[in-house]
Amino acid sequence: IFMLASAMMLSCDLIVGTQVAGELRVAFLSDQEALTRAGLSIPDTSDFILSVSDSKGRQIYSGPYGDFPESFPLDPGSYVVKVVSSEFSKPAFSSPLFADEQCVMVPAGGAADVKLVCTQANCGIRLKVDPGFLTAYPDGVLLLKSSFGRLVYGYSEKRVAYFKPGDISLVLSDKGKDEVLMTRSLQARDMLELKVSVASSESAGSGASDMIGSVSVSVDTTRNWLNGIYVIGGDNDNSGSAVRDALTVSEAL
């Protein structure tokens, strides 16, 4: 009886104490068609920041994607795989952010394959300042502001200002006074192009269009371009409440 009990205890120890490791393999989804539609300068995916965390939030790996082994041994369980093209904590010019996050189950003695499909995770605004604006506000400064920070947008600035998704305000700072001209709520991949002018200057008609572009074999950079016009001292209520502001079907599309 004693020998039998000892054998059972040894058997239980082997079952409970032994955990067959699994493997995690991470790669970017390859899209050959994206090569012919490149529209942005995307950083090398080898420099993307990859992190792997377990179900309790403990970080297992954090570092460049290029340093991640082809096969990473892990205990069976649930893991979160996240990748970002760069660190992005506050507004910055010419800083599109691409990211993906996936949850994966690593089986005992098996392998889990993760195919990363990165899309733009932040949003951007580009201003087109009418020459008449400088005449009307020679000492004025245009600011783009959100809860995460702000950027000064010079009259001759042509770069895109990138922000985290959320409410972004266009602010005119003139003679010690800040005035919020307009606020727009932008989502990830939204790209707003806004023409700023004064009521006395001629401004182009408003419109909206979607520009689609994909870059790199591994990053889907489809973005939503939105066009708008803000005239200082003019009627900027484009909410669609009036008949004159209504869109045709083709314009809405």
Q: What is the pLDDT of residue 129?
A: 87
- 44-54 core/surface letters (b: 16 or more CB in 10 A; e: else): ebeebebbbbe
CA distance 30 to 14: 43
- Confidence check: pLDDT of 144 > 70: yes
CA torsion angle for 196, 199, 205, 208 (degrees, to 10)? 40
Q: What is the band of 77 on the pLDDT scale with cuts at 50, 70, 90?
A: very high
Summary mean pLDDT of the chain: 77
Tokens 């020459």 sit on residue: 131
Name beta bridge partners: 179: 172
Tens of pLDDT, residues 121-143? 999 999 988 888 888 888 889 99
Tens of pLDDT, residues 152-171? 998 889 999 999 999 999 99
CA torsion angle for 241, 247, 249, 250 (degrees, to 10)? -160
- Which of 206 and 88 is assigned the larger pLDDT? 88
Q: What is the pLDDT of residue 237?
A: 53
106, 76 contact by CB (below 8 A): yes
* Full-model pTM: 0.71
- Confidence check: pLDDT of 230 > 80: no
22, 76 contact by CB (below 8 A): yes
- Confidence check: pLDDT of 203 > 60: no
